[in-house]
Structures are given as C-alpha cells and as structure tokens.
Amino acid sequence: MGTVLKTKDLTKKYENRVVVDNLNISIEEGEVFGLLGPNGAGKSTTMNMICGIVKPTLGSVEFCGKDFDKYRKELTVELGYIPQELAIHGNLKAWENVELFTSLYGIRGAELKKRIDESLEYVGLLEKKNDYAKTFSGGMKRRLNIACAIGHHPDLLIFDEPTVGIDPQSRNFILEKIRESNKNGATVIYTSHYMEEVEAICTRIAIMDNGKVIATGTSEELKKMVVDDTSSITLEEVFLTLTGKKLRDY
C-alpha cells in the first residue's frame, strides 16, 4: 500500500489570518481518513486546497506521488469531491445531473450512459432517473450529490459532511455506501461533526484546531491520549478535551 495523498507544509493565509498552518498529513491507500475539528478549524479550507479549488499560500499537495498543482489535468480524474452543499441543479433530471458532472472527466457516448445508470443504481435512484432533482427529498438529493461525484470512478473520494440534515435511513445508506466504496478499493477522506459516524467508518482520524493537526491516530489511539481506560470515554469527549469547550464563533 502506498501513500495516496500527502500535504507538505500546507498553509493558507487570508490577509493576516492563518487559516491552515503548515499542515502535514499523509493518507494511505485504502484508508477511510476522518478529519475532525470545530468550526473554523480549517477543515473546509484544507479540503478546498486538496481539491484544487483554493490555492495554498505556501506548501503543496502530492497526489499519488505527483505534485497536484503541476499534474492537475492528469490527477483530477482520480478525485471525487462530494461537497457539503447539494451541488445539483433542481431543474435537471437525476440522470442529467449525473451526466453533467461525469462528462467533465472526458467520459462520453455509450460509456457515459452506462456510468450514469451505474452511479444512480449505486445510490438507489435508478428508478427515479427521469425525475427532476427539485422533486427529491433531502436524503435523495444527498444521494444524487454522491452519484454525481462517483461516475468517473475516482480513486480518492472526499466527503465533506455528507449526512447533514437527513433522516437516519438515508444517513445509514450513505455510510454503508462509503464502506462499500472503500471495500471496492477507494480511499476516503471524510469530515463530519457527528463523532459516532466518524468512529464507525474511519480507520484513522486527525483532529484539527486553529489550522493545525493536534492529534492523529485510530479512534482507540486518540482515546488513549486522554485516558488509559478507553471504554470509559467517547470520541466526542476526546474531541472536547483536545479542542476545549469554548464556543467557536466564526
């Protein structure tokens, strides 16, 4: 197993405010890597820099051993980004939304049609392929959001809080699909505020605060940083111990 993603001294400054400060993380092939942090910790900015949406002030992102900025055209096809927002067009049908985003990676014709059906089937929306996205429930839109990001078969899936505001059934379905994608060989980066979700699916977790990674390890390793008896503490308590209970008003 090799390193899929590595950040080297990744830094982002907005005027005088350092949002991400010399971040060095490394994600191995086949991992489900959880990124936790309070609001304003720098998680989204880190995700945006990894995806190439935001340019780092300093440092670099290495993807499969290659500089992402330099080989972006070649590497971007290996990346599937599922944003926190429902990045779909309500006035397009489900299949048209998947077609739009999958085609951006150079897939066309019969192969594109096959991938559209495959992606919709994967998220359980094949029967609704001809329905407009605006008629979908919150959970269905979340699933469609995922279908739009997996049609080009990326090796690295980045989920930015994919279960916000949906019912337990839809949440369970999405988590199952993330596990399934991981079993099928995809490496996953996952952010969420739901600690039990992170604990359930992530093989390794990093906790960020004030733009820095303050702890990394498995759920057990993180708990051991706080107490010896890991059965007496939850991941949420570890998180609060490490980041503090002070409200973050960003």
Partner 1 sequence: MIRYLIKNNFKLMMRSATNILLYIVTPVILVALLSSAFNDLLQKYETNGSIKAGYIINTDDTDVKTKLLTEQVKTAANENDIILIEYPECDVEKKIMEEDLAGFVVFEKDGKYTVYQNGERKYEAKALDYLIDSVDKRIAQFMLDAYRSDVPPEVNIGVEHPQYMKPIEASDYYGIVEVVYFGWCAVVCGAGIFTAEKKYHIGKKLKVSGLSELQLFLGKFIPMLLVVSISSLLTAGITILLFGVHWGSPLISALIVVMSAAAATAFGLMFYNITENVVVTIIAVFAVVWVAGFTGGSFETYMLSTQPQVLKEISPIYHINRALTELSCMGHSDYTLSAFTYCITIMLVSASVAVAAGYIRGRNGE
Give the residues lining the site for partner 1 (CB under 8 A). 12, 48, 51-57, 72-73, 76, 79, 81, 83, 85-92, 96, 99-101, 103-106, 108, 112, 148-149
Dist. CA 76–CA 133, nearest whole Å: 26
**Nearer residue to partner 1 within complex by CB, 51 or 213:** 51
Q: How far is the CB of 55 from partner 1 (least distance, A)?
A: 4
**Nearer residue to partner 1 within complex by CB, 92 or 200:** 92
Q: How far is the CB of 120 from partner 1 (least distance, A)?
A: 16
Residue whose entry in the numeric block shows the structure tokens 């759920």 = 219
Q: How far is the CB of 111 from partner 1 (least distance, A)?
A: 13
The tokens describing 68, both together, are 């992402």
Residue whose entry in the numeric block shows the structure tokens 């500089």 = 67
Q: How far is the CB of 91 from partner 1 (least distance, A)?
A: 5
Q: How far is the CB of 216 from partner 1 (least distance, A)?
A: 25
DSSP state of 231: G
**Nearer residue to partner 1 within complex by CB, 105 or 159:** 105
Q: How far is the CB of 96 from partner 1 (least distance, A)?
A: 6
CB of 189 within 8 A of CB of 157?
A: yes
**Nearer residue to partner 1 within complex by CB, 55 or 183:** 55
Q: How far is the CB of 14 from partner 1 (least distance, A)?
A: 9
**How many other CB atoms sit within 10 Å of the CB of residue 92?**
15
Which burial class, exposed, middle or buried, applies to 220 when counting CB atoms under 10 A from its CB (0-12, 13-18, 19+)? exposed
One-letter amino acid at 206 equals: A
**Nearer residue to partner 1 within complex by CB, 159 or 239:** 159
Q: Partners of 8 in the beta sheet?
A: 60
The tokens describing 207, both together, are 């906790």
**Nearer residue to partner 1 within complex by CB, 65 or 106:** 106
CB of 209 within 8 A of CB of 41?
A: yes
**Nearer residue to partner 1 within complex by CB, 158 or 206:** 158
Q: What is the 3-state secondary structure (H, E, C) of 109-129?
A: HHHHHHHHHHHHHHCCCHHHC
**How many other CB atoms sit within 10 Å of the CB of residue 246?**
7
